[in-house]
Structure 1
Amino acid sequence: MAGVNPLLAGLAGRCPNCGEGALFRGFLTVADRCEACGYDFSRADSGDGPAVFVMLIGGFIVAFAALFTEIAYRPPVWVHLVVFLPLTVVVCMGLLRPMKGVLLAAQFANRAGVSRHED
């Protein structure tokens, strides 16, 4: 497939090469290869990048919501704990897989796994 946008495919958890096969075999475990086109994912490694971006984005969303709630309604502390601790988990877990897919697809798009040795 020639018209596949690797970043959108990675965001959807699909193979950045063909856009059809699954990128993950578990929640965050990267598949060994694409079942549709056979592209090898063994060199793909996103490292800690997805976790950093998720902490920054999710932290901003939840901290803003908690601050807004505190200023607007002044609820007791237990309300913050009951509402915003689970919200933090849900937001971070919801963002982690798409963010990892995007970073793996960015590696594919920029050919980061291909080493260049020029002697």
Structure 2
Amino acid sequence: MPHTDQTLAQSHAPGEAPNEALRPLKPALLKGWRRKCPQCGSGALLKGYLKVHSECAVCGEDFTPQRADDGPAYLTILVVGHLMIPLLHIAFVYYRPEPLALFTIFALGTTALTLYLLPRMKGAVIGFQWARRLHGFDGPA
């Protein structure tokens, strides 16, 4: 069957919504970063440290389709590694601290930064999935 203008306008990659159906990305990422519902920005996205609510308590948005999986952990490792490795090198080259002091400072810094970023990255990934209508987030905007 030959493609017409209508079928070309309707075609898009599998699992990807057409452009006109996409939700605004930046607000969804920021709301997710704040660990709030990507739709209303008021309801809590996470209960506890990383457990996702089944739905928003304010607007009723269903969060069960989210599939954050290992994405937040990967992004957290990427960011923490890119920040801490250059800082470790600079501290070692310019200040030459005792090895135990260097280890202690950077172990604590790496742990603290990881614990801070992980739930925020999870919220941002869920916000991205919601904005792009991935994994079942395809209800009305």
TM-score of the aligned structures, taking structure 2 as reference length: 0.76
* Maintained 8 Å contact 2:33/2:120: yes
The answer to whether the aligner puts 1:111 opposite 2:133 as a matched pair is yes
Aligned position for 1:30: 52
Aligned position for 1:64: 86
In 2, the alpha carbon distance for the partners of 1:58 and 1:115 equals 29
In 1, the alpha carbon distance for the partners of 2:131 and 2:57 equals 19
Runs of 4+ in 1 over 2 A off after TM superposition: none
Query: Which secondary structure state, in structure 2, belongs to the residue aligned with residue 5 of structure 1?
Result: helix
Unaligned runs of 5+ in 1: none
In 1, the alpha carbon distance for the partners of 2:114 and 2:123 equals 14
Aligned counterparts, 1:86-105, within 5 A:
86-105=108-127
Q: Equivalent of 1:75, from 66, 82, 97?
A: 97
Aligned position for 1:44: 66
Aligned position for 1:53: 75
- 2:32 alignment partner AA: G
Deviations 1:51-72 (A, max 9, x none): 1111111011111111100000
Q: Which has the larger radius of gyration?
A: 2
Offset at residue 115 of structure 1 (A): 8.6
Aligned residues: 115
In 1, the alpha carbon distance for the partners of 2:136 and 2:34 equals 24
- 2:89 alignment partner AA: L
* Maintained 8 Å contact 2:130/2:137: no
Aligned position for 1:9: 31
- 2:36 alignment partner AA: R
- 1:8 alignment partner AA: L
* RMSD (Å), alpha carbons: 2.0
- 2:30 alignment partner AA: L
